[in-house]
Amino acid sequence: DGGITQSPKYLFRKEGQNVTLSCEQNLNHDAMYWYRQDPGQGLRLIYYSQIVNDFQKGDIAEGYSVSREKKESFPLTVTSAQKNPTAFYLCASSIRQGRTDTQYFGPGTRLTVL
Amino acid sequence: DAKTTQPNSMESNEEEPVHLPCNHSTISGTDYIHWYRQLPSQGPEYVIHGLTSNVNNRMASLAIAEDRKSSTLILHRATLRDAAVYYCILRDYDKIIFGKGTRLHILP
């Protein structure tokens, strides 16, 4: 089945540690995205990549880093510089439809900083 | 950036139609109107999108005002599985902004 996988589903981290969240897609989509969602809030864009080896900052990129070495993979690293990293993290990929696109989301990773 | 305004929550009875409104008075000519919905602890799911004309698919209908400053997502016959947060989003290819959405409660 085609889709987006995120791992792990739940992640616990000690304060001051970096942690990497995995996102893989087998939909052959060019574009991939990372969002953060806090309780009761909408999604906020962290980083996005429209093509391999290229990515752009979203609205809340500080304290995060990404890489896009392969079309299928877009890992997100939450660094110790992120002041309040506890949140629900969602990865998405998209396919172009004319002048717009449709995003497909993974199941999310819930990160808790202890 | 263009924003959308939605009611925080709405209720509807099961098996009745639901009309979810969205205001986007600062929409630009190239912004598409997208709707996604999110069930608890899951990623959002695409529902429908449109530019100027009304759109229908198997999940819902999208009615867009003539001046494009508002739109309405229509669920023709709500079921308990339609209980979710519904997001109305203006989408230009390089930017996407999710608001808080409308939490839809379905009453059995």
Residues A95, A101, A105, A109: is their CA dihedral positive or negative? positive
Q: How far is CA B96 from CA A44, A55, A111, B87, in A?
A: 9, 15, 23, 12
> Please, where are the H alpha helices in chain A?
none
pLDDT at A1: 59
CB contact under 8 A, A44 and B44: no
Report the C-alpha gap between A42 and A14 in whole angstroms. Answer: 26
Q: What is the mean pLDDT of residues A66-72?
A: 97
The pLDDT, as a whole number, for residue B96 is: 75
CB < 8 Å from B in window 35-54 of A:
35, 40-45
Cβ–Cβ below 8 Å for A42 and B46: no
Local confidence band at A3 (pLDDT 50, 70, 90 cut-offs): very high
B32 to chain A, any CB pair closer than 8 A? The answer is yes
Compute the nearest-CA separation of A68 from chain B (Å): 17
Cis geometry, peptide bond prior to residue B44 (ω within 30 degrees of 0): no
pLDDT tens-place string over residues A77-87: 999 888 899 99
pLDDT at A96: 83
DSSP A70: B
Among partner residues B44, B87, B93, which is closest to A100 by beta-carbon distance? B93
Nearest residue in B to A55, CA atom: B94
Lookup: tokens for B60: 């819902």
How far is B24 from A6, CA to CA, in rounded Å? 33
For chain A, the maximum distance between any two Cα atoms, rounded to a whole number of angstroms, is: 45
pLDDT at B88 over 80: yes
Q: Tell me whether strands A10-13 and A109-113 are parallel, antiparallel or unpaired.
A: parallel
Average pLDDT over residues A14-26: 94
**Cα–Cα distance, A89 to A77 (Å, whole number):** 11
Determine contact: A61 vs chain B, CB below 8 A.
Answer: no
Answer whether B34 sits within 8 Å of A100, measured CB to CB.
yes
Contact between chains at B99 and A42 (C-beta distance less than 8 A): yes
Look at residue A34 in the predicted model and tell me its pLDDT: 97
Only one residue has tokens 């896009």, namely A68
Contact (CB<8Å) A42/B96: no
Does residue B80 sit in helix, strand or coil?
Answer: helix
Both tokens of residue B24?
């986007």
Residue pLDDT, tens place only, B6-59: 999 999 999 999 999 999 998 988 889 999 999 988 999 999 999 999 999 999
The pLDDT mean for chain B works out to 92
Regarding beta strands B84-92 and B95-96, do their DSSP bridges make them parallel or antiparallel, or are they unpaired?
antiparallel
What is the rounded distance in angstroms from the CA atom of residue B9 to the CA atom of residue B81?
Answer: 16
Nearest by CB: A43 against B32, B91, B98 = B98
Distances (CA, A) of A43 to A2, A61, A73, B36, B75: 24, 13, 21, 11, 23
**A99: which chain B residues are within 8 Å (Cβ-Cβ)?**
30, 32, 93
Please tell me which of the candidates A40, A101, A106 has its beta carbon nearest to residue B43.
A106
